[in-house]
Structure 1
Amino acid sequence: MQIIAPPHGPRMLILSASISDMESIFQENIPRATEKRKREHRTGRWLLQEGLKKWGFHNLSNLEVRRTKERAPYLQWIEGTWQRSPLPDISISHCENAAVVCLIESGFHVGIDIEPSDRTIQTNAFDMMAKGEELEMLRIQPEKALEVWTKKEAIQKAKKLGMHMNPREINLNDLDLKLVTFTKDDLLISIAWQRVTEVSENPEDLLIKEIRSKMLENPEFKVGC
């Protein structure tokens, strides 16, 4: 496992590791996946587990990884633990032989994508990721395609939309988030992050709000013990 220096900005932790047979309390059961995909998944979830320890979480049994309807992973306190401490946002990526995880402080969303720096994207895939002037640029400078691809993947993840966000519609010259791309060893890494405008609430938060509202409406309202 290796710590990668994060870009300047909010608190962030980036860890990488070679794909291998890891075990994690956060791994999902994906029986239909290939063995290669399972190993990638387990390595990514193991990195998440180790990253949370380095972040300062000592009892991980109170945490779980949930997914949005767009399948974006996020952390949540397990219902019934009544934990309300802010949780970092997370993003995981993997390529041929490596996996990375990125954690960012509460109040931000993050997306990370990695690819082997020597990977070549076929020209017949350009029109699936770009259009207009950007597409023409890629046809003239195909060596820029990999960087464009990782940037757009990172943005899709930071927006928590994945492929529900059409990469052809992402204008890299007009962004409402931060975006950094760099090379580390043999990996090309893109990281995107933005402030969160809405904070999701778990059922316990909603219950506390409801009780407080009733207490304000009716001074005689009491909670039974």
Structure 2
Amino acid sequence: MEIIASPLGPRMLILTTSIGKMESIFQEKIPRATGKRIREHQTGRWLLQEGLKKWGIHNLSHLEVRRTKERAPYLEWIEGTWQRHPLPDISISHCKNAAVVCLIEPGFHVGIDIEPFDRTIQSNAFDMMAKGKELEMLYTYPEKALEIWTKKEAILKAKKLGMHMNPREIDLNDLDLELVTFTKDDILVSIAWQPVTEVSKNSEDVLIEEIHSKMLENPDFKVGC
């Protein structure tokens, strides 16, 4: 396992390691998955587990990985543990024989994507990821395709939209988030991040807010035990 230097900005932790058979508290069963896909999942979740320890969160049994309706993973305290302090946002990626996880401080969403530096994207796929002048540029400079792809993948992850947003609609010259791309050994890495615009609440947050509201309305209000 290796720590990758984080870009300037909010607190981040980026970890990478080789794909392998690993176990973690966060791994899930993936029906009908190939052995390769299972190892990728196991490695990513193991990196997440180790990253959270390095972040300073050690009561991992109180945590679970959930998914939005767009299938974007996020961390949440298990209901009944009554943990309320904010959690980092997460993003996981893998390619070839490497996996990577990125954690970012609460208040931000992050997306990370990695691709082998020698991967070639065929020209018949260009119109699936670009349009207009960007598409024309790709036909002229096809070697730029991989960089554009990783950038857009990272952006989709940071926006928690996955493939529910068409990458052709992303204008890399007019972004509302931060984006960096760099190489690490033989891997191309793109990281995107942006401030959270809406804070999600679990049922315990809602209950506590309701109790607090009733106590403000009625000083004699008490919670039975």
Query: Can you give the 5+ residue segments of structure 2 that lack an aligned partner in the other structure?
Result: none
Between the aligned residues of both structures, percent identity stands at: 84
> Counterpart in 1 of 2:37?
37
1:20 deviates by 0.4
Cα distance in structure 2, aligned partners of 1:8 and 1:216: 42
Q: Does 1:138 align with 2:138?
A: yes
**Alpha carbon RMSD of aligned pairs, Å?**
0.7
> Counterpart in 1 of 2:79?
79
Return the letter of the residue paired with 1:20. G
TM-score (norm 2): 0.99
> Counterpart in 2 of 1:100?
100
Alignment of 1:59-208 (within 5 A): 59-208=59-208
Return the letter of the residue paired with 2:64. E
Q: Which of 106-115 and 53-62 deviates more? A: 53-62
Cα distance in structure 1, aligned partners of 2:32 and 2:207: 38
Query: Can you give the 5+ residue segments of structure 1 that lack an aligned partner in the other structure?
Result: none
Alignment of 1:20-35 (within 5 A): 20-35=20-35
Displacement over 3 Å in runs of 4+ = none
Cα distance in structure 2, aligned partners of 1:192 and 1:29: 29
Cα distance in structure 1, aligned partners of 2:19 and 2:50: 15
**CA offsets per residue over residues 147-186 of structure 1, 9 Å max, x none?**
0000000000000000001100000000000000000000
Q: Does 1:219 align with 2:216?
A: no
TM-score (norm 1): 0.99
Return the letter of the residue paired with 2:56. G
Q: Which of 58-67 and 214-223 deviates more? A: 214-223
Return the letter of the residue paired with 2:210. E
1:217 deviates by 2.0
Secondary structure in 1 aligned to 2:3?
A: strand
> Counterpart in 1 of 2:14?
14
Secondary structure in 1 aligned to 2:31?
A: coil
Return the letter of the residue paired with 1:148. I
Secondary structure in 2 aligned to 1:53?
A: helix
Alignment of 1:49-64 (within 5 A): 49-64=49-64
Cα distance in structure 2, aligned partners of 1:2 and 1:123: 34
Secondary structure in 1 aligned to 2:168?
A: helix
Cα distance in structure 2, aligned partners of 1:116 and 1:65: 27
Secondary structure in 2 aligned to 1:213?
A: helix
**CA offsets per residue over residues 165-221 of structure 1, 9 Å max, x none?**
110000000000000000000000000000111111111111000111112222332
* Total equivalences in the alignment: 225
**CA offsets per residue over residues 87-131 of structure 1, 9 Å max, x none?**
000000001111000000000000000000111000000000000
